[in-house]
């Protein structure tokens, strides 16, 4: 079953067509990679799906609902949560406070209820869940560390932990291993796999690093110059002459 | 909440209860204005926690003041109705003002909020009926409750004290609630907050409208005290004072703006003999804080506390080391 369906999506900025007529099917509980050289339209597609841009034409369906045209926070509330290429977290809070804050942000209550009602029960529940998430992401030993003083790799993992506080069905990761050394990369990809294996979360991965994509993803969609080049298993993609041709001469791609 | 904050609150309340009986009539008037300004700075801090430093906030206060004048004049409403109704009017005007402002942020928000505030303020001058033009409105009753005339400073002082304590309590709870946390999350990283499912615009509007509501209360209390208001009361000069109070105090905790207002009120009274040099002094203080202590006085307190804690820890380490030796 497909959890995320992108149908004939086009996004134009003035005269420039960043994404042209792209189709994408992400199956439930798979790790789906989106790759392509610079300017292929990966980030634009990512932003269309997460709601930052409305598509010029085409539809995006998530979990049976049309989400194109919805705002980013509405899409997040439906269970499609994105992370950022930058180290996005709340830097002046500790690790535990980060996830707790992300949990607090989920509560739906009005001004007066928030001010007058005692929510001890909800707080206890949030704490329990936050600790569970930190345990799962292996950040529990650092729970009292200030987020801004963590190592780069761990900050990215904290970004994923914050996203998990929303209880997503699908998580979209924007270049999760950018700027990481091999040890950090292995750590992060291991966590990505466990998101799917242990918690059943579908993962969409936009990534530059080919080795990570090939080793982690179940299926891969290749974009080039705003169009979909092909879709397939990692092995098929790596050996496809069109893909090789698209990247030939581009030194960032060591296939 | 730790035990120190309630204790401090009790001490302050007792002091506030005794103060008017030991002070001159003039000092009681100063204290009344101080309490009104406490509500105003605290309401402004709500906006600043989302990062929206509006320049129209004293105009929201003025809206409350004008609403009070009109409600008293037209319907002769008693003070326990004019104050909450004026606050509601200010909140509604706040909602109308913030709706277009949500399309801006940062510097754009700054300028646009100033422009919209001036638009409202100038309309009080332009529409002589009902706002009284540049001369403003006079004859606002000082109000009474249970046969007690609020023209007398001490009864009015206690009325304002009760309203101020209730308002501050509400704003304190708001600051520590999940909504207060959401405001700060938006300020820290808007994109991240949005990705975690936060309707950023809705919460920015909520902060602005809540701030306008309490500014309206402050304006209403001011109108009843002064008996006469004019557009000059709520011009950019007053706004600059509000900004000085909050910059001197700092905005990262609930107490910062209150500390800033307290210190600057003392400085203001102390500098009374300086007359026309006073704005220069205040400008100098503002620039000093922006350059050398951007965290405000509350930042100084935090630094002192950290240093004391470090020293105490150092001592404890030494004693425990000594114990081990013996």
**pLDDT score recorded for residue B326:** 39
Measured between alpha carbons, how far is A88 from A205 in angstroms, rounded to an integer?
17
| Of residues B170, B174, B198, nearest to A105 (C-beta) | B198
Which chain B positions have a beta carbon within 8 Å of A71's beta carbon? 199
Lowest mean pLDDT among A75-84, A105-114, B269-278: A105-114
Within 10 Å of residue B314's Cβ, how many Cβ atoms? Answer: 10
Count the alpha carbons within 13 Å of B207 in the hemisphere toward its beta carbon: 31
The residue among A82, A86, A52 whose CA lies nearest residue A69 is A52
Structural Rg of chain A based on CA atoms: 19
Residues of B in contact with A73 (CB under 8 A): 194-195, 197-200
Residue B316 has pLDDT above 70, yes or no: no
Say whether pLDDT at A143 is over 50: yes
pLDDT tens per residue, range A95-123: 998 998 888 888 777 777 777 777 788 88
Q: What is the pLDDT of residue B325?
A: 42
In this complex, do B181 and A116 lie within 8 Å of one another by their Cβ atoms? no
- Least confident range from B25-29, B60-64, B121-125: namely B25-29
Q: What is the pLDDT of residue B59?
A: 95
The Cα diameter of chain A in Å comes to 65
| pLDDT > 90 fraction of chain A, expressed in percent and rounded | 29
The stretch B313-322 carries a mean pLDDT of 60
Pick A213 or B321 by higher pLDDT.
Answer: A213
Give Cα separations from A111 to B178, B194, B197, B210, B325 (angstroms). 10, 19, 18, 9, 58
Spatial contact of A123 and A101, defined as CB atoms under 8 Å apart: no
Which of A50, A79, A101 is the best mutation test for B, with the most CBs of B within 10 A? A101
Please list the residues that pair with A146 across neighbouring strands: A94
Q: What is the DSSP letter of A94?
A: B
Looking at residue B124, its pLDDT comes to: 92
Instruction: Name the residue with tokens 């205040």.
Output: B282
Residues B274-285 pLDDT 10s:
778 888 888 888
Neighbours of B103 (CB within 10 A): 10
Average pLDDT for A55-81: 91
**pLDDT at position B315:** 65
Pick the closest to residue B41 from B251, B285, B299 (CA basis): B251
Query: Ranked by mean pLDDT, which of A83-97, A219-233, B201-215, B308-322 comes out on top?
Result: B201-215
**CA-CA distance, B86 to B39, in Å (whole number)?**
14
Determine, for residues A109 and B178 on separate chains, whether the beta-carbon distance falls below 8 Å: yes
* Higher pLDDT, residue B122 or B127: B122
Q: Does domain A1-79+168-255 have CATH number 3.40.50.10260?
A: no
**Which of A15, A80, A29, A93 is closest to A52 using CA atoms?**
A80
Within 8 A by CB and 6+ apart from A241, the residues are: none
For residue range B18-44, what is the model confidence (pLDDT) as tens digits?
Answer: 777 887 878 888 889 999 999 999 999
State mean pLDDT over B289-303: 81
Contact A83 B195 (CB under 8 A): yes
- The domain limits of chain B are 23-234, 238-326
Given a contact cutoff of 8 angstroms between Cβ atoms, the answer to whether A137 and A187 are in contact is no
Is the pLDDT reported for residue B162 higher than 70? Answer: yes
Q: Which of A57, A71, A62 is nearest to A19 (CA)?
A: A57
State whether residue B198 is helix, strand or coil.
coil
Residue B188 to residue A92, Cβ atoms within 8 A: yes
Give the torsion sign (CA, A163, A164, A169, A171). positive
CB under 8 Å to B268, separation ≥6 — which residues? Answer: B278, B282
Separation of alpha carbons B152 and B136, rounded Å: 24
Query: With an 8 Å Cβ cutoff, are A106 and B197 in contact?
Result: yes
Percentages (nearest 5) of helix, strand, coil residues in chain B: 80, 0, 15
> Looking at residues B99-112, what average pLDDT do you find?
90
What ranges do the domains of chain A cover?
1-79+168-255, 90-166
pLDDT average, residue stretch B249-256: 85
The pair of structure tokens assigned to A196 is 């799917």
What is the complex's ipTM, to 2 decimals? Answer: 0.85
**Mean pLDDT in residue range A217-236:** 88
B178-209 burial: b if 16+ Cβ within 10 Å, else e: bbbbbbbbbbbbbebbbbbbbbbbebbbbbbb
Spatial contact of B167 and B61, defined as CB atoms under 8 Å apart:
no
Q: Which of B187, B206, B214, B201 is nearest to B48 (CA)?
A: B187
Which pLDDT belongs to residue B170? 92
Amino acid B317: pLDDT? 60
CB-nearest to B197 from A77, A88, A119 is A77
């Amino acid at each position: 079953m497909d959890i995320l369906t992108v149908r004939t999506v086009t996004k134009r900025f003035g005269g420039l067509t960043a994404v042209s007529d792209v189709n994408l099917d992400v199956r439930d509980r798979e790790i789906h990679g989106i790759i392509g050289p610079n300017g292929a339209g990966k980030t634009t597609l990512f932003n269309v799906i997460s709601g930052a841009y409305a598509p010029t034409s085409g539809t995006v369906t998530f979990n049976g609902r049309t989400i194109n045209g919805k705002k980013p926070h509405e899409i997040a509330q439906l269970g499609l949560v994105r992370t950022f290429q930058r180290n996005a977290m709340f830097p002046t809070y500790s690790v535990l406070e980060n996830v707790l804050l992300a949990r607090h942000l989920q509560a739906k209550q009005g001004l007066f209820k928030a001010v007058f009602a005692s929510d001890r029960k909800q707080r206890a529940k949030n704490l329990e869940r936050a600790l569970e998430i930190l345990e799962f992401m292996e950040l529990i030993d650092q729970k009292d560390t200030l987020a801004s003083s963590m190592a780069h790799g761990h900050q990215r993992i904290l970004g994923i932990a914050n996203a998990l506080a929303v209880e997503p069905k699908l998580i979209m990761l924007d270049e999760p291993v950018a700027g990481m050394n091999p040890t950090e990369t292995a750590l992060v990809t291991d966590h990505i796999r466990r998101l799917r294996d242990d918690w059943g979360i579908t993962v969409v991965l936009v990534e530059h690093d080919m080795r990570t994509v090939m080793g982690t993803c179940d299926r891969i969609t290749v974009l080039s110059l705003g169009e979909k080049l092909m879709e397939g298993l990692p092995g098929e993609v790596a050996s496809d002459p069109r893909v090789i041709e698209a990247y030939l001469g581009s030194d960032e791609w060591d296939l | 909440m730790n035990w120190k904050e309630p204790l401090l609150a009790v001490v302050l309340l007792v002091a506030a209860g005794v103060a008017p009986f030991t002070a001159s009539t003039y000092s009681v008037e100063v204290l009344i204005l101080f309490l009104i300004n406490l509500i105003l700075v605290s309401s402004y801090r709500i906006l600043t926690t989302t990062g929206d430093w509006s320049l129209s906030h004293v105009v929201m206060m003025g809206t409350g003041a004008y609403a009070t004048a009109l409600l008293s004049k037209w319907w002769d409403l008693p003070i326990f109705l004019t104050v909450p109704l004026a606050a509601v009017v200010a909140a509604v005007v706040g909602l109308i003002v913030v709706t277009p402002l949500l399309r801006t942020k940062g510097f754009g928000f700054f300028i646009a909020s100033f422009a919209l505030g001036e638009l409202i303020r100038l309309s009080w001058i332009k529409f002589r009926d009902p706002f009284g033009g540049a001369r403003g409105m006079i004859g606002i009753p000082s109000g009474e409750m249970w046969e007690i005339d609020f023209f007398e400073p001490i009864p009015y002082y206690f009325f304002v004290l009760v309203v101020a304590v209730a308002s501050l309590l509400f704003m304190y709870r708001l600051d520590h609630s999940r909504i207060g946390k959401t405001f700060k999350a938006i300020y820290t990283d808007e994109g991240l907050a949005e990705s975690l499912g936060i309707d950023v615009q809705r919460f920015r509007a909520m902060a602005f409208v809540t701030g306008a509501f309490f500014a309206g209360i402050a304006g209403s209390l001011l109108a009843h005290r002064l008996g006469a208001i004019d557009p000059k009361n709520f011009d950019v000069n007053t706004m600059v004072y509000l900004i000085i109070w909050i910059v001197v105090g700092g905005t990262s905790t609930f107490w910062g703006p209150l500390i800033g207002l307290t210190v600057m009120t003392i400085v203001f009274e102390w500098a009374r003999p300086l007359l026309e040099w006073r704005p220069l002094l205040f400008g100098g203080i503002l620039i000093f804080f922006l350059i050398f202590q951007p965290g405000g006085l509350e930042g100084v307190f935090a630094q002192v506390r950290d240093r004391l804690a470090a020293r105490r820890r150092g001592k404890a380490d030494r004693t425990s080391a000594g114990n081990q030796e013996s």
